[in-house]
Structure 1
Amino acid sequence: MASAEDLYKQANDAFFEDDYDEALELYNKAIEMDATNPEYFLKRSATYQKMKKKSKESLADAEKALSLIESTEQNEQNSIKAKALLRKGIALFELKNYQEAKNALESSKELNANEKSLATWLKKTEAELEKIPKPKPTPPDSTGFLSQSRVRHEWYQNENFIIISIFIKNVKKETVDVYMTEKSLSVTVKLPTGSEYSLELDPLAHEIVPKESKYEILSTKIEIKLKKANAGAKWGVLEGEDTIVGSVAYPSSAKHAKNWDALEKEISKEQEKPEGEAALNSLFQQLYKDADDDTKRAMLKSYTESSGTCLSTNWNEVSKGHVETKPPEGMVAKKWTS
């Protein structure tokens, strides 16, 4: 009866004659008789690679050989390990795992730089890696994470709350810290760059009720609702001394809000003009008086930014950007210069 070594030699002869089916059968028999020799697994791994579409089996044999090598002498171990890593690298290459293939081949090179066909497979692997598109750096602005100086915040109010919006996209809850007292607000956001954004309002223009205040993290912003201690009071500014009594606040990144009451007075003066325009202004005022907060904001923003040529009650639409001037058909809008 043939020994495992005899079967291994017969398998090698079949391999060199390109009879891979015969070689595989003989290597299988040799391994059945002696499953401790890493060379048997290495040659069967090479056979699988020659047979194509057997990359997974080839990889398994290469890894088995590596696990058996630990028990051999150091010099022999390095030589066999280099071969095993080469086989592993080739199998990974054929499985299109090019980065892991390169790692295995480079490890083989460290043990035996003269290993047959190693240099060829390294070049092929590096060529495939070069074909893979490298990810482009993501500009900070495209993710919504901006520097401290470029983060925008706005605020407005209703009878009961001051609403502050900080426009940073895709913020994670665990990166946001909001702290309130009766007269102060502190907001800190940790950005992926490692830096921090902070908004410090101390002292607030008027007192708030921290326990009834809250904040919400949305996809495009952080929205903070400060409960007014004195419901119905109109804040002229967010921070510091409030000298604008009775003004209606509107979203603004500045500390001082625009006096929209004055705008209402200007609109009321328009009633002195010819009947048709006076009637239009009267309608505007009536709509404004009976509207909810979002509708009022939409009307004021659309009317002022369009120079009186557009009046919208849809805040979702108006809030998206500047409202363009749209003069009547046949007329052209011009800017006044002093």
Structure 2
Amino acid sequence: MSGADIYAKANDAFFDDDYDEALDLFTQAIQAEPKNPEFILKRCVVYQKLSKYQEAATDAKTALKILEESQGSRTLLARAHLQTGITQHHLKNYTEAQQHFEASKELNPTEKTLVTWLRKNADKIPKVEPSPPVVPQVLGESSAVKPTPQQARVRHEWFQNESFITVEVFMKNIKPDTVSLEFFETSLSLSIKMPSGSDYSLELDPLAHEILPKESSYKILSTKLEIKLKKKQAGILWGALESENDQGSAMAAASTSGKKAKDWNKLVKDIDQDQEKAQGEEALNGLFQQIYKDADEDTKRAMMKSFVESNGTCLSTNWSEVGSGTVETKPPEGMVAKKY
């Protein structure tokens, strides 16, 4: 077979997520056409999928050298710089990676993943703090320069159901025109212009599993930004928000006894409605027991841990979310938790 025929078969294996087969076939294609930079760049991507970043870096630099010597197309040269930057980022050579990302942007500024990689990589480069300005001392005044207050820390949390991943960024009074949010199949890039003039950014790349960008959305609330990521594979339980090797697991659809699956979203809504009608701690405990009775062991553990540690202000059914640390007390908006 010709190099092009082998390359086509290699692409089929790649899109079927059979990376070992794809690696073998791309290698055969390169042996047939050793100076074909497109073949080499595609094998570079396969090496990245297999977390073989040294091999990926070698391929990326080889393709880049071939293209520079042959004065190849700007688009292909931009891809070579991009892949070189990605491999150097994974190898923690962030300054070198940034140089290649900038070169790729100059050659092809429309490359959709560049914005994400530029921000993500820039966050890894140590910031050089500017020297404090020299303030002339006036008689009777202290020459000490008062420090500026630090930017308030912004936190984010996430949870999931069968169809969506929900990410909450806790920041008050966000103006719509200050938010820039881009969805990609395996990443998310968020930037919010803060009143102080600085930018808050959140780069999730790679996401643990693929999403559907066109069916993902966000909305601004009084105390937070709520982001809804539509799962490409509904019913898959993500083990992490960001991961390169999360296998996921099937979310329980029904118990072995044939009972219908619990609709936890509806149950939480019912709890909220019942709480408005209920009076006192006795009614709330009754609701707690109603949910707890038919839950599986992990769900029971999550419910007990979250309810006890949060002093009754949080009820979670997700053990993977609450099992790794202490659940904070989260009183309703407008109320303050006090220790007695």
* TM above 0.5: no
Select the structure of larger CA radius of gyration.
1
The structure with more helix, counted as a fraction of residues = 1
TM-score (ref. length: structure 2):
0.37
